[in-house]
Chain A
Amino acid sequence: QVQLQESGPGLVKPSETLSLTCTVSGGSISSYYWSWIRQSPGKGLEWIGYMYYSESTNYNTNYNPSLKSRVTILIDTSKNQFSLSLSSVTAADTAVYYCARRYGSRGYLDHWGQGTLVTVSS
């Protein structure tokens, strides 16, 4: 059974870059679609973006247009991990951040990490 675990700083200063890592265990990171989702009290769940990697098609990403200018999702196949970077953060980026896996190429999520709270504050 695949499991996902988020890790990273719980506190980030305004204007700095939020960086999180998702470690995938129990299965390969290749040939699946991996996502970052966040949840803040005032806005509910928000899909940040997703990435796909396979040895044949290489690597592609798709980001939410509302965050696209600040988001990067990368993969490290040697560690079975993928990461999220969100630059120039403000208090509005305070949220619980989840990594998750899509069901095949479908647009819904069948495996989630436990989530990690990131607070943006000086």
Chain B
Amino acid sequence: EIVLTQSPATLSLSPGERATLSCRASQSISSYLAWYQQKPGQSPRLLIYDASSRATGIPARFSGSGSGTDFTLTISSLEPEDFALYSCQQYSNWPWTFGQGTKVEIK
């Protein structure tokens, strides 16, 4: 099973700042990586697929990069609604797995 390690566990930032979230895979997953955003009491929402493609309706301030084992989700300028939990997910090898998540909180 492929393990995804996300860092940091918590990111404390202010609105307008840039957020950089990391996801590292225990083995190469090519570009088979997705990112989800989850707010308290809500289900996850797809942000990014294939490591760098934005899902429908996702603002341009969200971008993804990376391939192989190292991936990054960047939020260029945090909006108030962006403070949430972010999880990465690989779909290279079954069982598809998720990272433990990075919580982006207001500083």
Decide whether A and B are members of one complex: yes
| 9 residue pairs A–B, Cβ–Cβ below 8 Å | A45-B101, A103-B46, A103-B49, A107-B91, A108-B34, A109-B34, A112-B45, A114-B42, A115-B43
User: Is residue B97 contacting chain A, with contact meaning CB distance below 8 A?
Assistant: yes
User: Which residues in A have their C-beta under 8 angstroms from that of B34?
Assistant: 107-109
Q: Name B's A-contacting residues (CB within 8 A).
A: 1, 32, 34, 36, 42-46, 49, 55-56, 87, 89, 91-92, 94-101
Q: Size range of the interface on A? A: 20 to 34
Q: Does A110 reach chain B (CB closer than 8 Å)?
A: yes
Q: Which residues of A contact B (CB under 8 A)?
A: 44-47, 62, 64-66, 98, 100, 103, 106-110, 112-115
> In the bound complex, do residue B100 and residue A44 qualify as a contact, i.e. CB atoms below 8 Å apart?
yes
Which residues of the other chain, B, contact A98 by a CB distance below 8 angstroms? 43-44
Whether B44 lies near A109 (C-beta < 8 A) is yes
